[in-house]
Structure 1
Amino acid sequence: MNYTEQLEELQHRVDGAVEDVRQAAAEDHEQLAARVDKNQHDLKSAVQNGQQRLDRAEDQLESKWTQVKADASVKVADLKAKMEQRRKEHDADRATTDANWAEADADAAIDLASWATDNARLAILDALDARAYADELTKLATR
């Protein structure tokens, strides 16, 4: 496995997310709704691609990926429902509260992504160490 390429792809995705957030900060509600729809489609594609890769992985990972997919679907549905609800409500106090909750959700998602990145780093280091150890034992066994 080429972990460097995978991490570079992840970095590319993070850079894209940063640019999206920069652009979205200047958009109105309709533009943001369109951006959310596009990102929802992109997320579904990413989930499908991830599922295809996962199908080739070991069975023990399948339950984790299923949970991530379910969580992502729930999050997207919740986000769309919240956006629709905000369209219907004109109360400034309610809108402020909703904005605070949305910002808290965004903070939590960033924290989760940070944890996932740290977890991926540790998993990759463990995989590299396990492979190096296995290769070392194989060399010793063939002597």
Structure 2
Amino acid sequence: MTQHTDFSTRLDDLQQRVATARSAVQAAAAESDAQLKQRIDRAQANLDQSGENARQEASQAADSARAKWAQLKADAAAKMSDVKANIDKRTRQGDAKVAADDADWAEADAAEALDFADWAVENAQLAMLGAIDARAYADKLAKAADNS
């Protein structure tokens, strides 16, 4: 396997990121408004950096699959910027009905993000299996060529 196909390490990293996200969400539920705002700001900064990295990857992408994935990451970063703007807007509003509607929207958006993450994991699994199959086939052809 090449550096780009070390799937086990990448999956371990992803699993750690999920555990970190779970811990952050659980901790956030018990935090003060100021602590939660700081946590959101840190998460937004991390996401902004990820989005910038994705935009750079998209501009440097050599193939369409990498470009599509980089564009998906950039789109997700833009979506998170919208979420942060809505969080900031909510802090300026005092209407309980508006706040309840915003909370419903935010929860639905979070559920959609989890659905997307689930899809992304399934898509990644299929892509990894395809890559493993392609590498096995290439190795088989190379071995056959060496034996001829």
Match of 2:81 in 1: 77
Q: How far has the Cα of 1:66 moved from its partner? A: 4.3
Unaligned stretches of 5+ in structure 2?
none
Aligned length: 143
The answer for the alignment partner of 1:38 in structure 2 is 42
State TM-score, norm by structure 1: 0.87
C-alpha spacing 1:141/1:62, structure 2 compared with 1 (3 Å): closer
Aligned counterparts, 1:78-97, within 5 A: 78-97=82-101
Amino acid in structure 2 at the alignment position of 1:87: T
Percent identity, aligned pairs only, is 45
The equivalent residue for 2:114 is: 110
More relative contact order in 1 or in 2 (CA 8 Å, sep 6+)? 2
Counterpart code for 2:45: H
Is the contact made by 1:51 and 1:65 (CA closer than 8 Å) also made in structure 2?
no
User: TM-score, with normalisation over the residues of structure 2?
Assistant: 0.85
Partner of 2:22: 18
Distance 2:15 2:59 in 1: 24
Task: Note the residue ranges of structure 1 that are not aligned, 5 or more in a row.
Answer: none
Output the CA distance in 2 between the equivalents of 1:66 and 1:130.
Answer: 22
> What RMSD over aligned residues (CA atoms) do the two structures have, in Å?
2.1
